[in-house]
Amino acid sequence: MDAQSRSEQLKGIYFASAAFVMWGFVPVYFKLVDQVSALEVLAHRVLWSVLFLALYILVTKRSREFLSIFRQPKVVSALALSAIVISLNWLVFIWAVGQDRIVETTLGYFINPLINILFGMAFFGERLRSIQWVSVCLAAGAVAYQVILLGELPWVALTLAGCFSAYSVLRKKIPVDSVSGLLIETLWLLPIALAYMGWLFSHNEFQILSVDNHMVWLLLGTGLVTSLPLLAFASGARRLSLTLIGLLQYIGPSIAFLIAVFYYHEPMDERRLVTFILIWIALALFSAEGILFQRRRNRLKG
């Protein structure tokens, strides 16, 4: 690897790490607005994301490139479906944070890479290697353990993981860059968000009008919280291999897990910890196998 390639890789690591660190602290942000209903927070997230992303595209002089996407009706229509999926992910996440269930959201994002394996097999004809099967079975065992011994299905974790994996599949099939894609997705959601805000206003339930200025600014900032990590991630992903991105992605849920347990003191008894330990072992196997597989393939190419 020459000096320029190493420099680009280092930049990629900085950008991707920044994105995952920001995502790790996102629960703290949404915890600050938990006195506002999850649906209203979601509506604000959509509205202010539209405005921030539109401004970004204007400032970066990408308007012509963005508008050209609307000459591809199949792409725009497909983004309507991905918009529904990601909005469900956002809603469940916002609600779970407000209900002191951050730990369960982190479980979802730890499970996510393993769900991606199954989705890759189902939708892209990918074949699982033996260690990948072991990782998936360990994750399935962790979920089964929680259902049997704790008597509860981790539906928040499974919903978040399932939605994000489905969203990844959809976005992989849609030929559009991440920023333009997110703007079009939020534009699809915007009429619903505005209609809901109007309904809240007409029923004197629009909470942004009754909270203090500090809370108003936090609600307006949901657009930045949504968009900035994505922009950093997009810059990092262009410069890094999928293997390295896959390793870095554990930064986010790890930070959120530590915050939930040690700062918000969410319950983490020995039985719940077993679920996470099984998932962590599965992820360690999955990551180590991925690195070794990539190295073998590179040697064969060389």
Q: Which tens digits make up the pLDDT trace of 59-68?
A: 999 999 999 9
Give the C-alpha distances (Å, rounded to integers) separating 73 from 2, 79, 172.
42, 10, 17
| Calculated CA dihedral for residues 84, 90, 92, 96, nearest 10 degrees | 180
The predicted-structure confidence for 180-221, as pLDDT tens digits, reads as follows 999 999 999 999 999 999 999 999 999 999 999 999 999 999
- Measured from the Cβ of residue 300, the count of other Cβ atoms closer than 10 Å reads 7
Domain extents in the chain: 3-301
Look at residues 197, 236, 188 and name the one whose alpha carbon lies nearest to residue 49: 188
Residue 53 pLDDT: 95
Does residue 224 have a pLDDT over 90? yes
In one letter, which amino acid is 287? S
Averaged pLDDT of the chain: 90
Residue 215 pLDDT: 95
Does residue 75 have a pLDDT over 70? yes
Average pLDDT estimate for 143-156: 85
Nearest-angstrom CA–CA distance, 234 and 256:
21
Among 17-31, 119-133, 186-200, 221-235, the minimum mean pLDDT is found in 119-133
The predicted-structure confidence for 245-275, as pLDDT tens digits, reads as follows 777 888 999 999 999 999 999 988 888 899 9
Band of residue 243 on the pLDDT scale cut at 50, 70, 90: low
Nearest-angstrom CA–CA distance, 250 and 261:
17
Band of residue 1 on the pLDDT scale cut at 50, 70, 90: low
Q: Residue 52: which residues within 8 A CB-CB, separation 6 or more?
A: 223, 224, 226, 227
